Amino acid sequence: MAELNLILLGPPGAGKGTQAERITEDFNLPYIATGNILRAAVAEGTPLGVKAKTFMDAGALVPDDVIIGVILERIASGDARDGFLLDGFPRTVPQAEALATEFEGLGRSLTAVLLIDVSDDEVVRRLSGRRVSAKTGRVYHIEFDPPKNEGVCDVDGSRLIQRDDDKPETIKKRLAVYHEQTEPLVAFYSELGILRRFDGARPPAEVHDHIRAQIATLRLEDRI
């Protein structure tokens, strides 16, 4: 069977991480989330983390030359050679072009780019109420998806924290960066005929049903 090489696209707070947890389980795919990779690097104080931190704190993108090599290497490694779910990359046209060139060289191709669409107002509501497990990164929302006990992860009891870049001023900056630098990828992948659009304003279970059905259809078409 062909590889399932999937990209999640959409503004910060669209629900990419929320859906990724479900999709990776449905299709047994490795999850590559650039934000998680960068936050781990910052926490560990690695050279990548040191380079990335100031950009992330400001709500800006980490420069292309810092991130591209790291992610392409990850995609070429072990478990991702047979398929993956990529979240947060590419985020600029040069990143998308670098991925296309790499894939052309390897004879690989992208299966689909899953765009989760939500309005700017909804992004602000979601990011300002987002809380994440300090240990596992599992995502909650104080209003839309609260934990059973306030401030504590349901799964492992670890403390829930607010991400540094989920503060109001940084949220606005990240949204502007999305519209300016990442949204052009919608046209980029649309022209390649691999963009699939989902209404991210629906409840998480509904968004998940639509995405899962779409991927199942793509798989079926591939077999025929």
> What CA–CA distances, in Å, run from 161 to 116, 165, 204?
25, 12, 21
Residue of 126, 174, 196, 208 that binds ligand AMP (CB under 6 A) = 174
> What CA–CA distances, in Å, run from 76 to 1, 41, 68, 152, 218?
18, 19, 12, 36, 23
Residue 130 falls in the annotated catalytic set: yes
Instruction: Give the three-state DSSP class for 30.
Output: coil
Residue of 31, 55, 103, 144 that binds ligand AMP (CB under 6 A) = 55
Chain residues 96-155 in contact with ligand ADP, contact rule CB under 6 A? 126, 129-130, 139-141, 144-145
Task: Answer with the entry of ligand AMP, ligand ADP, none that 30 interacts with (C-beta below 5 to 8 A by kind).
Answer: none
- Does position 14 interact with ligand ADP (CB under 6 A)? The reply is yes
Stretch that binds ligand AMP, among 30-38, 96-104, 184-192, 208-216 (CB under 6 A): 30-38
Angle at which helix 120-128 crosses helix 168-177, to 10 degrees, equals: 140
By beta-carbon proximity to ligand ADP, the closer residue of 16 and 39 is 16
Euclidean distance between CA atoms 206 and 204, whole angstroms: 5
By beta-carbon proximity to ligand ADP, the closer residue of 150 and 191 is 150
Euclidean distance between CA atoms 104 and 75, whole angstroms: 14
By beta-carbon proximity to ligand ADP, the closer residue of 100 and 124 is 124
Stretch that binds ligand AMP, among 56-64, 114-122, 142-150, 202-210 (CB under 6 A): 56-64
Tokens 């998480």 — which residue?
204
- Does position 10 interact with ligand AMP (CB under 6 A)? The reply is no
* CB atoms inside a 10 Å sphere around CB 140: 20
User: Pairing mode, if any, of strands 31-33 and 112-117?
Assistant: unpaired
Check: CB of residue 84 under 8 Å from CB of residue 75: yes
Euclidean distance between CA atoms 3 and 79, whole angstroms: 12
By beta-carbon proximity to ligand AMP, the closer residue of 54 and 217 is 54
Chain residues 80-99 in contact with ligand AMP, contact rule CB under 6 A? 88-89, 91, 95
Check: CB of residue 218 under 8 Å from CB of residue 26: no
List contacts with ligand AMP (CB under 6 A). Answer: 12, 34-35, 38, 55-56, 59-62, 67, 88-89, 91, 95, 165, 174
Residue ranges binding ligand ADP (CB under 6 A)? 10, 12-18, 126, 129-130, 139-141, 144-145, 200, 203-204, 207
Q: Name the residues annotated as catalytic.
A: 16, 91, 130, 163, 174
